[in-house]
């Protein structure tokens, strides 16, 4: 049985939601917004929970004591424009419906969702306590301009055959030039595009993510 519940609200995106069992901690649950890759687009509201963060939670839910929101991008769309705005609106609705901590809202995504994570973080740089894009890309100038103070841990496989690792290297340089002292970049020498299977099981990353709090 899945740990997720599935929803199809009107005029918004279908989404999967994970709510941990038990009472929330003092201050409320952390809240994670996860943006999936291109292969999980559609309207069933479920496929996006089967790749990346979803399987990691199913394997080890105790490691993820957070409300996790996974919206689904429509087929033939990208995480930009209307779908990204709707995902952001969903985030606000989930916050209103669940006891979450406004200082502990995290953003992560893989591949197309890595692009989306950079895009959404740049649009709302004061919204997230931390951002963790995986094998994505963005405009380095926008990242330099908007994310100088946001904790970012960016991941990419050096052997990525879909999204060149040079894209992430450029963004790491942009954050360094912006003076972001809370930015990290992990490049895995032998990993290909599916590097997310490793990232979401890294204890150091999980510990880092939940340690971040927005001031």
Over residues 17-74, the pLDDT tens digits come to 999 999 999 999 999 999 999 999 999 999 999 999 999 999 999 999 999 999 999 9
Confidence at residue 178, expressed as pLDDT on a 0 to 100 scale:
98
Specify the pLDDT at position 2.
83
- What is the reported pLDDT for 166? 98
Per-residue confidence (pLDDT) for residue 76, from 0 to 100: 94
Q: 185 and 205 in contact (C-beta within 8 Å)?
A: no
Residue 12: partners with Cβ closer than 8 Å, 6 or more residues away: 71, 86, 89, 90, 93
Point out the residues of the chain with pLDDT beneath 70: none
Just give the CATH number of 5-211: 3.40.50.1820
Provide the residue ranges of all domains of the chain, joining segments of one domain with +: 5-211
So what's the pLDDT on residue 215?
85
Cα–Cα–Cα angle for 17, 83, 74, rounded to 5 degrees = 75
CA 160, chain centre distance (Å): 19
Alpha-carbon distance values, 178 to 115, 144, 169, 173 (Å): 19, 5, 14, 9
pLDDT of 29:
98
| DSSP per residue, the chain | --S-EEE--TTS--EEEE--SSPPPTT-EEEEEEE--GGG-SSSS-GGGSSTHHHHHHH-GGG--SEEEEE-PPTT--SSHHHHHHHHHHHHHHHHHS-EEEEEEEEEEETHHHHHHHHHHHH-TTT-SEEEEES----HHHHHHH-SSS-EEEEEETT-SSS-HHHHHHHHHHHHHTT-TTEEEEEETT--GGGHHHHTT-HHHHHHHHH----
Q: Quick check: pTM over 0.95?
A: yes
Question: Do 6 and 37 form a contact (C-beta atoms < 8 A)?
Answer: no
Query: pLDDT at position 195, please?
Result: 98
């Amino acid at each position: 049985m899945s740990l997720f519940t599935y929803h199809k609200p009107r005029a918004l995106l279908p989404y999967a939601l994970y709510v941990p069992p038990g009472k929330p901690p003092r201050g409320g649950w952390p809240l994670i917004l996860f943006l999936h890759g291109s292969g999980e687009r559609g309207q069933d509201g479920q496929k996006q929970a089967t790749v990346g963060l979803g399987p990691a939670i199913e394997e080890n839910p105790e490691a993820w004591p957070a409300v996790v929101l996974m919206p689904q991008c429509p087929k033939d769309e990208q995480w930009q424009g209307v779908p990204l705005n709707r995902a952001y609106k969903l985030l606000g609705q989930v916050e209103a419906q669940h006891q979450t901590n406004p200082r502990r809202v995290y953003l992560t995504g893989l591949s197309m969702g890595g692009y989306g994570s950079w895009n959404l973080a740049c649009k709302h740089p004061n919204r997230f306590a931390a951002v963790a894009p995986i094998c994505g890309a963005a405009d380095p100038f926008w990242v330099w301009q908007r994310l100088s103070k946001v904790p970012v841990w960016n991941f990419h496989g050096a052997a990525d055959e879909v999204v060149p690792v040079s894209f992430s290297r450029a963004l790491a340089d942009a954050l360094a030039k912006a003076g972001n002292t809370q930015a990290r970049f992990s490049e895995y020498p032998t990993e290909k595009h599916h590097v997310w299977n490793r990232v979401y099981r890294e204890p150091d990353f999980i510990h880092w993510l939940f340690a971040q709090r927005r001031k």
